[in-house]
Amino acid sequence: MQTMLKKYGLLVWLSLILIAGFVSTTVASFIVSRDAIQQGISEQTLPITGDNVYSEIQKDILRPVFVSSQMAHDTFLRDWIINGEEDKDLIAKYLKEIKLKNHAISSFLVSEQSHQYYTADGVLKAVSETEPRDQWFFRIRNQKADYETNVDADMANRDTMTIFINYRIVDYSGKFIGATGIGMTLDTMKTLIDSYQARFRRNIFFVDQKGNIALAGNNMKKIRSNLSNMPGISGLAQQILGNRKSESQHLEYKTDNETILVNSRFIPELGWHLLVEQETSNEIKPLQNVFLINIGVSAGITILVLIILLVTVRRYQKRLEKSASTDTLTNLLNRQAFDFVFQQALLDGERSRQPMCVVLLDIDFFKKINDKQGHLVGDHVLKEISLIAKRSLRESDIICRWGGEEFLILLKNCTLEKATSIAENLRNTIANNDFSRTTDLTRTRLSITVSMGVAECRDKDTEDSVFERADQALYQAKENGRNSVYFSE
């Protein structure tokens, strides 16, 4: 975290400044808009469409359907019925857990095999085809749909009016073996509607297919009327009740002082119509548009500036990091970067107990090349040797430019014998290469030789100690005629 802050400290500060400016602009715009709305109209909230409200209500109504579906497909429940319904306490415990976990008023299971009606408290009764209140079970047994939603009195809860989700249970061959589900009281639904109304500041209620108010919040508690008898909306009753599609209807009616927008939608799961009433005025729309435009412009500019800053800073950081760790002529690691890599390699070698060697490479008579053919040719030789070394070494090996004409190679997981062989192969490749083939600076054959010293890292070795032994081996190679590889024991 501290490293990230150091690398992108400037960007963090600039981002904070931009965000502070964006927040300040947004808050200021909100305060101005809020004050204007408070002065201009009695309502204090922005308009919201009936579709948004429907999405919220649909989510809460369909959640019991999802829970009931999980119960019907639960292998434990199906196996318990198929295996003869032996442990009745076990199914009661299961239904109780479902009920408590989902805050339901009721959870139930009715078996086709025994016709027993199970609840969280145990066996409630045996269902019968002659009992009117049990007809729902025999109806769902014969229907093709996976489930139904109906409103009925719950015998397990003092005949409280409850919205039941009745879900078919089938065995592994598709045969009907029972029905299960959960129930949610109308009072629970009223609480949900009250929460929506407090949140959206809109009138929300349901009417059945005859136009009677079936469910409403506490603000409409005293209204027990039919749409056709309610002032204003009565003119829309026929149009609302005639809709049997779940698509939204956008209607409106007028009162003495206000235009009321009505969003109507048929909910087939309940067989009810959802109505959302929304007050509005012409003064809200300009304020809303200005507020939204201000937010959009501010957010867009802030995001754009942050993206530009991020790209610019990252490029600048990468350029600095590359220039700080890379030799500009050969594009190899420089000495400072190699020191860090080598220290990390020493630690890794101590943990893994794998051998590691270093090779110090020096170009023979490099000063004569610069003096006789010029520094451009000398630079070409350095770049060519770095390319040859990259091609000759393994992917895990690391090479850096150690000094003017010196290169240092780190060979991981490599014994002294193998390292000497790799160094000899590289020496031979360089000696057989015609350096004039890849440049126009010289037209005669240009042959270069190198001398190399190899040393293996020992336990408790430091960077200085292992490099000193490699340097001693290199000195022996130079003393014994150059163009050779020597190693230090």
Burial of 200 (C-beta count, 10 Å sphere; 0-12/13-18/19+): buried
For residues 450 and 388, is the Cβ–Cβ distance under 8 A? no
Using the predicted structure, report yes or no on whether residue 167 has a pLDDT greater than 80: yes
Look-up: residue for tokens 């949610």?
Answer: 184
Residue 376's alpha-carbon distances to 69, 225, 432, 446, 461, in angstroms, are 79, 99, 21, 14, 39
Q: Which structure tokens are listed for 366? A: 């490099």
Per-residue pLDDT, averaged over 434-448, amounts to 86
Q: Report the amino acid identity of residue 63.
A: R
For residues 185 and 162, is the Cβ–Cβ distance under 8 A? yes
- Least confident range from 13-17, 128-132, 374-378: namely 13-17
d(CA 156, CA 144): 27
Of the two residues 388 and 278, the one the predictor is more confident about is 388
Of the CA atoms within 13 Å of residue 109, those in its CB half-sphere come to 32
Of the two residues 359 and 55, the one the predictor is more confident about is 359
Of the CA atoms within 13 Å of residue 146, those in its CB half-sphere come to 10
Using the predicted structure, report yes or no on whether residue 284 has a pLDDT greater than 60: no
Residue 202 CB partners (closer than 8 Å, separation 6+)? 48, 53, 196, 276, 277, 278
Per-residue pLDDT, averaged over 425-435, amounts to 92
For residue 294, list its beta bridge partners: none
The one catalytic residue among 97, 405, 424, 456: 405
Residue 86's alpha-carbon distances to 92, 171, 320, in angstroms, are 12, 17, 75
Using the predicted structure, report yes or no on whether residue 289 has a pLDDT greater than 70: no
Judged by DSSP in three states, 267 sits in strand
For residues 138 and 50, is the Cβ–Cβ distance under 8 A? no
* Residue 395 annotated in active site: no
Per-residue pLDDT of 314-351, as tens digits, reads 666 565 555 556 888 888 888 888 888 888 888 887 78
Look-up: residue for tokens 């939608």?
Answer: 265
d(CA 9, CA 27): 27
The helix (run of H) or strand (run of E) holding residue 214 is strand 213-216
pLDDT of 281 = 57
User: Strands 259-267 and 398-401, how do they pair?
Assistant: unpaired
Q: Which of the listed ranges 89-93, 292-296, 436-440 does the model predict with the highest average pLDDT?
A: 89-93
- Residue-by-residue DSSP string for 6-60: HHTHHHHHHHHHHHHHHHHHHHHHHHHHHHHHHHH-S--S----HHHHHHHHHHH
